[in-house]
Structure 1
Amino acid sequence: MSPAVARYRWLALVSYLGLLVWVLLWQFATGYSEHSLLFRTLVYVVPLLFPLIGIIRGKPYTHAWANFILMWYFLHSLTMLYVAPEQRWWAAIELLLTTLAFIGCTWFARHQGRALGLGLKKLKDEKKESGN
């Protein structure tokens, strides 16, 4: 793994784990939520756990699809910035961590995937190989 790819992996791993810890603190250590413990766990914590093992193991494909999950937290933080002035700092940190995790996951998946020969071929390349 090249040093640049290792930095992307580090950025993805640290910011993703930081987001998980931040969400846990925000949802369970503060008294801001009116929802039940079960609801907060299912909606805010469980989605982050789905790709966690693959991110820890450094799997490019998992880093790529983890971005779909990160978009939930991106939208949540933007919404909270707008509607809940008393929680702006919590939402701003969530937005920062989500953005960093998105950047790290995207670039790691792209560069490590290329290094491993993974990825989708372009249609014109497939046509050349098949002779059409």
Structure 2
Amino acid sequence: MTEAHATTVPTPAVQRSRWLAFGSCLALAVLGLLWELHLAPTGSGSLAIKVIPLLLALPGLWRMKLYTYRWMSLAVWLYAAEGAVRVNSAPGPEVTLAAIELVLSVLLFSACAWHVRARLAAGRQATAITSAA
């Protein structure tokens, strides 16, 4: 197996973490849009712009850009913080939406961290294989 082949064929862990990260990011973006525009709008819906970073990350997550997974694992904590604050301060049905946002944020962070670790491990393994050959 050549080095180029080893780095282009994702391991099962990399693929699973990719799908989990992409799916949770997409779900978080849809939740944010629905929340701010339809389910419990605050103001004129201008808070829906908070999903822009999530939407910008989707192509990078899909193409498995390691940089995107790294910055998303940091940026997602803004959504987790919003969810935590709104769980404790929002009225009625918004508490459920905030709890879902918090769970999706932690899931997205976990998937991004898993993906980065799996990619780095696969890279180390490919390097060991090529240097041994």
TM superposition score category, shorter chain reference: 0.7 to 0.9
Q: What does residue range 44-123 of structure 1 map to in structure 2 within 5 Å?
A: 44-86=50-92, 87-116=94-123
Instruction: Name the SS for the 2:42 alignment partner.
Output: coil
Provide the rounded CA distance (Å) in 1 between the counterparts of 2:29 and 2:55: 8
Residue identity in the other structure for 1:101:
L
Residue identity in the other structure for 2:68:
T
Question: Does the 8 Å CA contact 2:83/2:101 hold for their aligned counterparts?
Answer: yes
Question: How many angstroms does 1:21 deviate by?
Answer: 0.7
Question: Does the 8 Å CA contact 1:60/1:113 hold for their aligned counterparts?
Answer: no
Match of 1:124 in 2: none
Residue identity in the other structure for 1:61:
Y
- What TM-score do you get using the length of structure 1 for normalisation? 0.78
Structure 2 unpaired stretches of 5+: 1-9, 125-133
Residue identity in the other structure for 1:9:
R
Provide the rounded CA distance (Å) in 2 between the counterparts of 1:9 and 1:115: 14
Provide the rounded CA distance (Å) in 2 between the counterparts of 1:85 and 1:30: 13
Percent of aligned pairs sharing the same letter: 37
Runs of 4+ in 1 over 4 A off after TM superposition: none
Provide the rounded CA distance (Å) in 2 between the counterparts of 1:6 and 1:56: 10
- What TM-score do you get using the length of structure 2 for normalisation? 0.77
Question: Does the 8 Å CA contact 1:61/1:113 hold for their aligned counterparts?
Answer: no
Question: How many angstroms does 1:116 deviate by?
Answer: 3.6
Number of residue pairs matched by the alignment = 114
Structure 1 unpaired stretches of 5+: 118-132
Question: Does the 8 Å CA contact 2:18/2:62 hold for their aligned counterparts?
Answer: no
C-alpha RMSD over aligned residues: 1.6
